[in-house]
Amino acid sequence: MPPAAVGSVAPDFSATDSNGRPFRLSSLRGRPVVVYFYPKDNTPACTAQACAFRDIYQDFQAVGAEVVAVSSDSDDTHRGFADKHRLPFVMLSDGSGEIRRLFGVPRSLFGLVPGRVTYVIDPAGVVRSIFNSQLNVSGHIASAVEAIKAMGAGASK
Q: Which amino acid is at 23?
A: F
Which pLDDT value is given to residue 51?
95
> For the residues of 93-129, what is the DSSP string, one character each?
E-TTSHHHHHHTPPEETTTTEE--EEEEE-TTSBEEE
Which pLDDT value is given to residue 150?
87
pTM of the model: 0.89
pLDDT 10s digits, 25-53: 999 999 999 999 999 999 998 999 999 99
How far is Cα 30 from Cα 27, in angstroms, rounded to an integer? 9
* CATH class given for the domain over 14-155: alpha beta
How far is Cα 65 from Cα 151, in angstroms, rounded to an integer? 11
Which pLDDT value is given to residue 62?
93
Sign (positive or negative) of CA dihedral 100, 89, 82, 132: positive
DSSP 78: H
Which pLDDT value is given to residue 114?
72
- Give the domain ranges of the chain: 14-155
Task: Count the neighbouring beta carbons within 10 Å of the beta carbon of residue 76.
Answer: 11
Report whether 24 contacts 143 (CB < 8 A): no
Which pLDDT value is given to residue 142?
84
Which pLDDT value is given to residue 90?
95
Which pLDDT value is given to residue 85?
97
Active-site hit among 46, 68, 148, 151: 46
Which pLDDT value is given to residue 154?
44
**Residue ranges of the chain with pLDDT lower than 70?**
1-2, 108-113, 134-138, 153-157
Which residues lie across from 92 on neighbouring strands? 17, 70
Confirm whether 46 is a catalytic residue.
yes
Which pLDDT value is given to residue 5?
87
Which pLDDT value is given to residue 126?
96
